[in-house]
């Protein structure tokens, strides 16, 4: 990947070709607005639009997109998994995530998943098309506000696996559901939650979730 935040991408960098895009956004009105917005761009073609991150892989196989625009606020279990699966299945497709919240955890998870970019939904509409062009050209594009939030945040004491377990617990999943989702035993999940409570110096699991959410480590 090239360095982040390049100058506006030129036609020569993109090879003067049409950039094929798929969109995953669960809100019908927003998804329709994104499609309408991108249809105004002569060099961008929307080849698919779905309401669930789990549907995007099948859609991408058909449309062979260069960029997948995914709502980062979709169900936590889907968004980054979809980005990783897309890269593994279609190496020529990069992901641009759209987020409504500037949280350090989102930036860290996006970087870990190897996504091509991350933008805030509050960004000016015209920046979306240019971000897609940059990602298609091989750049990593991260919203400046998101980057500043991540750089200014204190370190999280939890491991990635502990964050995964706590996030699912925060979403209301029971021990057995978490174990099934992460391919762990129920006893291992309980151990992770005990460690999380201890590391965060929390009173209990609910308090640990509150602390982690306030710090921006989970949603």
Q: Which of 177, 165, 135 is nearest to 22 (CA)?
A: 135
pLDDT band with cut points at 50, 70 and 90 for residue 153: low
Q: Which of 88, 116, 120, 89 is nearest to 102 (CA)?
A: 120
Per-residue pLDDT reduced to its tens digit, 76-110: 455 667 777 888 888 889 999 888 766 666 677 77
Strands of the sheet containing 67-71, edge to edge, are 44-50, 19-24, 67-71, 94-99, 117-120, 141-142
* Contact yes or no for 47/20 (Cβ under 8 A): yes
Distances (CA, A) of 127 to 6, 103, 142: 13, 20, 12
């Amino acid at each position: 990947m090239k360095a982040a935040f390049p100058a506006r991408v030129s036609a020569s960098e993109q090879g003067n070709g049409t950039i094929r895009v798929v969109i995953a956004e669960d809100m019908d009105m927003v998804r329709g607005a994104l499609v309408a917005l991108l249809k105004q761009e002569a060099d961008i073609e929307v080849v698919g639009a779905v309401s669930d991150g789990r549907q995007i892989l099948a859609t991408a196989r058909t449309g062979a997109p260069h960029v997948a625009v995914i709502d980062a606020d979709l169900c936590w279990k889907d968004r980054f998994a979809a980005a990783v699966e897309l890269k593994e299945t279609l190496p020529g497709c990069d992901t641009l995530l759209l987020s409504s919240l500037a949280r350090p955890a989102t930036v860290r998870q996006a970087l870990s998943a190897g996504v091509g970019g991350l933008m805030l939904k509050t960004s000016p509409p015209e920046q979306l098309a240019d971000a897609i062009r940059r990602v298609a050209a091989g750049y990593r594009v991260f919203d400046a506000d998101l980057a500043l939030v991540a750089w200014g945040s204190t370190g999280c004491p939890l491991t990635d696996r502990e964050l995964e377990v706590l996030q699912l617990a925060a979403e209301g999943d029971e021990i057995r559901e978490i174990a099934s989702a992460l391919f762990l035993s129920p006893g291992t999940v309980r151990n992770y939650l005990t460690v999380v409570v201890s590391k965060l110096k929390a009173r209990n699991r609910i308090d640990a979730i509150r602390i982690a959410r306030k710090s921006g480590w989970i949603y």
